[in-house]
Amino acid sequence: MPITTCVFDAYGTLFDVAAAAREAAAEPGRGVFAEKWPAIAQTWRLKQLQYTWLRATAGVHQDFWTVTQDGLDYALEEQAVEDAELRARLLQLYWELSAYPEVPEMLRALKEAGMNTAILSNGTPDMLEGAVNAAGIGEVLDACLSVQSLGVYKPHRSVYGLVRAYFGCSAREVLFVSSNCWDACAASGYGFHTIWANRAGEPMDRLPWKPAHVLSDLTSVPSIAAAA
C-alpha cells in the first residue's frame, strides 16, 4: 500500500531543541552560561522526556509546557545556575525554536508529491503553533496533532492512533519520522512505516521493534516516502 501521509515528531526532529540554550549563550553577558549551556541543554531534554514517561506510568498527566519547565529547572540546578532572567529567556526561546535547515524544502517536496503532512507531538497545541510559526512552515503542514487531547504521552499506542483518526487512513499508509529511536520503534510496533532521524549517531534502542530506515537528516524523506 503506498504512503499517503507523512507524520513527524516535532522536538528534535523538525525543531532543534538545543537552539534555545545555544542562542541564549551567544547573547551578551552570558559568560557563565556560555560555558555550561551544552550540559544544560542535554540534561534539559533528557529530563523533559523522562518526566513524560514517569507521568504516563504514574497515570498523572501534566501538559508538556509544565514538563518542559520542570526539566529546565532540574538542569539549571544541576549546574548550580540560579538566574531568574536567564530561565525566563530560555523558556521564551523555546517557543521560537529553529527548524533544521533541510526541513522547509523537505516538507515542500512532500506536499508537491501530493502527500498529507503532519506533526504528532507531546507538545501542547499552543507550543506547536509557536514553533511552526517561528519556522515559517505552516503552509506545508496539514495538521499539528498533540497528545494533549488524550492526556497521555508517547509511546502510548493511542497517541499513534490520532493520525489514523484525523486522516482516515490505514497504518500502512503512514510514514512516521522521529529523532527519538524509542518513538520510531513504538510507531513501527503500531504498524507505521518508520524513519529514525539519528542526527547524533546513537546506538539503536533495545526494544521489540525497529525503525525501517535510519537517516542522519531528513533530506531523503520524500524519496523514501515515494518508494515505500
Q: Are residues 66 and 107 in the same domain?
A: no
Residue 228 confidence (pLDDT) above 90: no
Query: What CATH number does residue 47 fall under?
Result: 1.10.150.240
Residue 47 sits in the same domain as residue 69:
yes
The domain tally of the chain equals: 2
214: Cβ–Cβ under 8 A, 6 or more apart, which residues? 195, 196, 198, 204
179 confidence band (pLDDT: 50, 70, 90): very high
Residues known to be catalytic:
9
Cβ atoms 81, 7 nearer than 8 A: no
pLDDT of 168 reads 97
* Shared-domain flag, residues 90 and 101: no
Choose among 181, 161, 179, 178: nearest CA to 169. Answer: 161
Last residue of a domain, one of 94, 129, 147: 94
Quote the domain boundaries for residue 46.
19-94
The span from the CA of 8 to the CA of 91, in Å, is: 23
Among 60, 94, 128, the domain boundary falls at 94
Are 222 and 167 found together in one domain?
A: yes
Q: In this structure, are 55 and 150 located in the same domain?
A: no
What cell numbers appear for 43 in the block?
540534561
Of 72, 94, 116, which marks where a domain is finished?
94
70 and 81 inside one domain: yes
Tens-digit pLDDT profile for residues 2-31: 999 999 999 999 999 999 999 999 999 999
d(C-alpha 49, C-alpha 71), whole Å? 8
Residue 194 scores a pLDDT above 90: yes
What is residue 211's predicted lDDT score, i.e. its pLDDT?
98
Nearest-5° angle of CA 192, CA 46, CA 210?
25
Residues 32 and 136 in one domain: no
Segment 51-76, tens digit of pLDDT: 999 999 999 999 999 999 999 999 99
**84-110 residue pLDDT tens:** 999 999 999 999 999 999 999 999 999
Angstrom CA distances, 171 to 18, 74, 124, 157, 218, stand at 32, 37, 24, 12, 21
In this prediction, residue 1 carries a pLDDT of 81
Pairing of strands 143-146, 174-178: unpaired
33 and 119 inside one domain: no
Residue 153 has pLDDT above 90, yes or no: yes
For 114-146, the pLDDT digits (tens) are 999 999 999 999 999 999 999 999 999 999 999
